[in-house]
Structure 1
Amino acid sequence: MNIDLVEVTRGTAIFEGEPDGSVFNPLGSVHGGYAATLLDSACGVAVHSQMRPGQGYSTLELKIAYHRGLSEKSGRVRAEGRIVSMGRRVAFAEATLHHSQNKLCATATSTLLIFDLPR
Structure 2
Amino acid sequence: MTGLDEIGAMIERGIRPPMMELLDIDLAEVAEGRVVFTAIPSRRLYNPIGTVHGGFAATILDSACGLAANSATKVPTDCITLELKISYHAAMHEKTGPIRAIGTVVSIGSRVAHTEAKLFDANDRVYASATSTLLLSPRRKRADTGEVGTGEEG
Which stretch of structure 1 is more off in the superposition, 93-102 or 104-113?
A: 93-102
Q: TM-score, normalised by structure 1?
A: 0.94
Measured after TM superposition, the shift of residue 54 of structure 1 is 4.7
More helix by share: 2
Structure 1 gaps, min length 5: none
Measured after TM superposition, the shift of residue 105 of structure 1 is 0.7
1:69 aligns with 2:91: yes
| Residue 68 (structure 2) aligns with | 46
Distance 1:54 1:10, change over 3 A: closer
Q: Secondary structure at the match of 1:59?
A: strand
Runs of 4+ in 1 over 3 A off after TM superposition: none
- Give matches, 1:55-94, under 5 Å: 55-94=77-116
More strand by share: 1
| Residue 5 (structure 1) aligns with | 27
Give the count of matched residue pairs: 119
Q: Secondary structure at the match of 1:92?
A: strand
Contact residue 70 and residue 76 of structure 2 kept, 8 A: no
Q: Which has the higher contact order (CA 8 A, sep 6+)?
A: 1
- Rg (Cα) greater in structure: 2
- Percent identity, aligned pairs only, is 47
State how far apart, in whole Å, the 2-side matches of 1:73 and 1:3 are. Answer: 17
Q: Secondary structure at the match of 1:45?
A: helix
Q: Secondary structure at the match of 2:128?
A: strand
Structure 2 gaps, min length 5: 1-22, 141-149
| Residue 21 (structure 1) aligns with | 43
State how far apart, in whole Å, the 2-side matches of 1:57 and 1:47 are. Answer: 7
Which stretch of structure 1 is more off in the superposition, 20-29 or 70-79?
A: 20-29
Output one character per residue of 1:9-31: Cα deviation in whole Å (capped at 9) or x when no partner: 00000001001122110111100
| Residue 15 (structure 2) aligns with | none
Task: Kindly provide the amino acid, as one letter, of the partner of residue 56 in structure 1.
Answer: D
